[in-house]
Amino acid sequence: MELTGAQILLKCLEEEGVDAMFGFPGGAVIDIYDEIPNFSIEHILVRHEQGAIHAADGYARATGKTGVCLVTSGPGATNTVTGIATAYMDSIPVVIFTGQVPSPLIGNDAFQEVDIVGITRPCTKHNYLVQDVRDLARTVKQAFYLARTGRPGPVLVDVPKDLMSQKCEFEYPESISLRSYNPNVKPHIGQIRKLAQLIKKAERPLIYSGGGVISSKSHEELRWLARELRIPVTSTLMGLGAYPGDDEELWLGMLGMHGTYCANMAVNNCDLLLAVGARFDDRVTGKISEFAPHATIVHIDVDPTSIQKNVSVHVPLVADCKSALAALQKEMKSIKGEVNWQRKHEQWLEQIIEWNRLHPLTYIDDEVKIKPQYVVEKIYEITKGDAIVCTEVGQNQMWAAQFYKVKEPNTFLTSGGLGTMGYGFPAAMGAQRAFPDKLVVNIAGDGSIQMNIQEMMTVVCNKLPVKIVILNNGYLGMVRQWQELFYKKNYCATCMDAQPDFVKLAEAYGAAGYRITEKKDVEKVLREAFEVDKPCIVDVRVAQEENVYPMVPAGASLTEMLLV
């Protein structure tokens, strides 16, 4: 059957099981929009292309599926770049379709022309400029395959306008064979045995889990390993939820710059560090030469470039985390009887309790002022940890990571690698579209929420009842914190005391708005906001100069923590 390029593209999306895509129309993609009503894919019209890509990313993180966004050429395409880089840094599968000017005009500085393939080369896993309508179906198939396999990531497909109206026979390839792309997903069994022996010997083992555990869906294997062998677990920001944050015995909290005292001390004292799907980011390691100084380091990662990149690893294991942990589980079961795991790490776990007792994750509460940590704790209490929580970037993000005990994977969506302010709200929008009946809460700062506030209209129009809780301290808080601690309180350009009235703003969009200025109202108003059946903003006026602690100053060792 002959179809036009526009029909082929949409048919391919149906074949890939795409039920929703986020986008914004324009001249170069108008043919696709003309066909959308004839297909089963819901199109969610955003108010800015950055909203579209973050929403597709949020949808992908919440579901574990591939997110899709569609934008026009030129400015439409460039507006997605921040979101593409965000997805790239956090290894999120997203396919981005950009319109391009008609083929004969490419390279002629045509109206709304930009070399988006060139621009996004360094921040996509791969990208394509389709030059023949007959290549379109195969390209789309490849794009989805690349986005979700190996180390996932964003893939961009740039389609010239004239291809959209050209016709060819539609045939969707059943399989993909790329001779140059063969991610190594199966672990080397010799390395697995070596690792099993290391675990058997270790006195003070520690699991350091990252986002790769979530994207490979290997949290069950990780939990088995920790619980059966009684190994404590710490995690990166991206790994939150792989291990339940409410397990008070084995869960140490996040490590690194704003990690817990206990997790950082455990890294410093462990004799075996099992890194799974984590990449030793500088926010995690602190001073590299003093990172895990007494440990044999084992690193499981599907991406060979992550191994030996930042720290020297003793046992590298290139494999998909799920296959590797499943193989390890099998191996450990076969030697299980040889060790009394219930007792083996008793001393080590006692030491961990002691560290937690000495410096628990805490804050100095106040009778009058509303502490932002208190608000996050209340959100956790009210939602019982069953919500999907998104964050913006900065202090709000760190307080959310510290005080919201994420229990399940895919329920804590945050921009880890790129640190994109303005990410949380549109990501929440994508997550809410994926799970219309779940409570989706975006924990925001007053600075970052203003970066994509225009999407209020999208959530109102699409009846996506996202809850935005602004921890409003009138500052770009994290930069202000650095200025306070390391720049002699020179609060240059971080004071945001000129603000919109967020309650009126919410109401202007047709959403609900609440303001909390007194501590006694926090719980009551949050409950009301979470129950209302429409999107809302809760503007919480929190203590202005509250800081995120613990804090490891940049470049210091993990043991050099500033505590509350």
Partner 1 sequence: MKHTLSVMVENEPGVLSRVAGLFSGRGFNIESLNVAPTLEKGVSLMTIVARGDDAIIEQIVKQLRKLVPVITVKDFTQVQAVEREMVLVKVNAEDSKRAEILRITDIFRCKVVDVSIDELTIECTGDHGKIKAIVNLLSRFGIKEIARTGNVAMKRAMQID
Catalytic positions: 49, 111-112, 161, 478
426: helix, coil or strand? helix
Nearer to partner 1, 120 or 410 (CB): 120
Does the protein bind partner 1 through residue 41 (CB under 8 A)? no
| 179 vs 357, beta carbon nearer partner 1 | 179
Phi–psi pair at 273, nearest 5 degrees: -115, 115
Q: In the set 177, 180, 289, 340, which binds partner 1 (CB under 8 A)?
A: 180
Candidates 115-123, 159-167, 213-221, 374-382 — which segment interacts with partner 1 by CB under 8 A?
115-123
Taking contact as CB under 8 A, which single stretch among the options 222-230, 252-260, 300-308, 332-340 is the one that binds partner 1? Answer: 300-308
178 binds partner 1 (CB under 8 A): yes
Q: Please tell me the distance from the alpha carbon of residue 411 to that of residue 542, in angstroms, as a whole number.
A: 25
For partner 1, the binding residues in 347-386 under the rule CB under 8 A are none
The verdict on 194 binding partner 1 (CB under 8 A) reads no
Stretch that binds partner 1, among 38-46, 174-182, 250-258, 266-274 (CB under 8 A): 174-182
User: According to the binding rule CB under 8 A, does residue 119 interact with partner 1?
Assistant: no
Q: Of 43, 125, 405, 467, which one interacts with partner 1 (CB under 8 A)? A: 125
> Which of 149, 391 has the CB closer to partner 1?
149
Give the residue, chosen from 201, 309, 463, 489, that forms a contact with partner 1 under the rule CB under 8 A: 309
Q: Which of 101, 146, 300, 441 binds partner 1 (CB under 8 A)?
A: 146
Give yes or no for residue 308 binding partner 1 (CB under 8 A): yes
Among 2, 109, 179, 190, binds partner 1 (CB under 8 A): 179
Measured in whole angstroms, the distance separating CA 430 from the mean position of its chain's CA atoms is 12
Query: Please, what is the minimum distance in Å from the beta carbon of residue 305 to partner 1?
Result: 4
58-77: contacts with partner 1 (CB under 8 A) = none
In terms of CB distance, is 141 or 515 closer to partner 1?
A: 141
Task: Write down the number of H helices and E strands in the chain.
Answer: 23, 20
507 token code pair: 């109401």
Cβ atoms < 10 Å from Cβ of 132: 13
Q: How far apart are CA 539 and CA 394, in angstroms?
A: 17
Helices (H), 90-230: 116-120, 136-148, 161-165, 189-201, 211-215, 219-229
> Does 305 participate in binding partner 1 (rule CB under 8 A)?
yes
- C-alpha to C-alpha distance for 549 and 371, rounded to whole angstroms: 13
- Rounded to whole angstroms, the Cα distance separating 406 from 391 reads 13
Cβ neighbour number for residue 142 with a 10 Å cutoff? 20
Q: Which of these ranges, 7-15, 54-62, 122-130, 283-291, lies near partner 1 under the rule CB under 8 A?
A: 122-130
Q: What is the DSSP letter of 248?
A: T
Residue selected from 39, 170, 172, 181 as contacting partner 1 according to rule CB under 8 A: 181
Nearer to partner 1, 185 or 503 (CB): 185
Contact segment (CB under 8 A) with partner 1 among 126-134, 226-234, 333-341, 494-502 equals 126-134
- What whole-number distance in Å separates Cα of residue 278 and Cα of residue 284? 10
User: How many other C-beta atoms are found inside a 10 Å radius of the C-beta of residue 177?
Assistant: 9
Contact call for residue 314 and partner 1 (CB under 8 A): no
CB of 121 to partner 1, least distance (A): 5
Nearer to partner 1, 187 or 245 (CB): 187
Instruction: Find out whether 430 and 286 touch, Cβ atoms under 8 Å.
Output: no
Q: CB under 8 A: which stretch of 53-61, 121-129, 378-386, 390-398 binds partner 1?
A: 121-129
Question: What gap in Å lies between CA 419 and CA 408, rounded to an integer?
Answer: 22
- Binding partner 1 (rule: CB under 8 A), the pick from 75, 107, 293, 304 is 304
CB of 180 to partner 1, least distance (A): 4
For strands 2-4 and 167-169, give the pairing: antiparallel
Residues 525-554 that bind partner 1 (CB under 8 A): none
Instruction: Report helix, strand or coil for 388.
Output: strand
Q: Which residue's CB is nearer to partner 1, number 184 or number 362?
A: 184
Q: Which residues, other chains included, contact 280 with Cβ-Cβ below 8 Å and sequence gap of 6+?
A: 291, 299, 306, 309, 310, 311
Helix pair angle (189-201, 321-334), 10° resolution: 60
Apex CA 479: angle with CA 476 and CA 484, to 5°? 110
Burial 386-417 (b: 16+ CB within 10 A, else e): ebbbbbbbbbbbbbbbbbbbbbebbbbbbbbb
Q: Cβ of residue 132: shortest distance to partner 1, in angstroms?
A: 12
Contact 178, 251 (CB under 8 A): no
Judge whether 97 and 157 are in contact, CB under 8 Å.
yes
37 touches partner 1 by CB under 8 A:
no
Q: What is the rounded CA–CA span in Å between residue 118 and residue 129?
A: 10
CB-nearer residue toward partner 1: 38 or 305:
305
Q: Angle CA(462)–CA(467)–CA(470) in degrees, nearest 5?
A: 130
Measured from the CB atom, the residue of 124 and 209 that comes closer to partner 1 is: 124
294: tokens are 């007494």
Per-residue exposure over 254-286, b if at least 16 CB sit within 10 Å of its own CB, e if not? bbbbbbbbbbbbbbbbbbbbbbbbbbbbebbbb
Q: Which lies closer to partner 1 via its Cβ, residue 16 or residue 158?
A: 158
7-15, 172-180, 340-348, 401-409 -> range binding partner 1 (CB under 8 A): 172-180
Residue 304 CB, nearest distance to partner 1 (Å)? 5
Residue 118 touches partner 1, criterion: CB under 8 A: yes
Figure out which of the listed residues 30, 105, 110, 117 binds partner 1, where binding follows CB under 8 A: 117
CB of 283 to partner 1, least distance (A): 19
Instruction: Name the segment binding partner 1 (CB under 8 A); options: 83-91, 175-183, 404-412, 478-486.
Output: 175-183
**Residue among 178 and 563 whose Cβ is closer to partner 1:** 178
Site size for partner 1 (CB under 8 A): 18
Contact by Cβ (8 Å): 48, 454: yes
Which residues contact partner 1 (rule: CB under 8 A)?
117-118, 121-122, 125-126, 129, 131, 146, 178-181, 303-305, 308-309
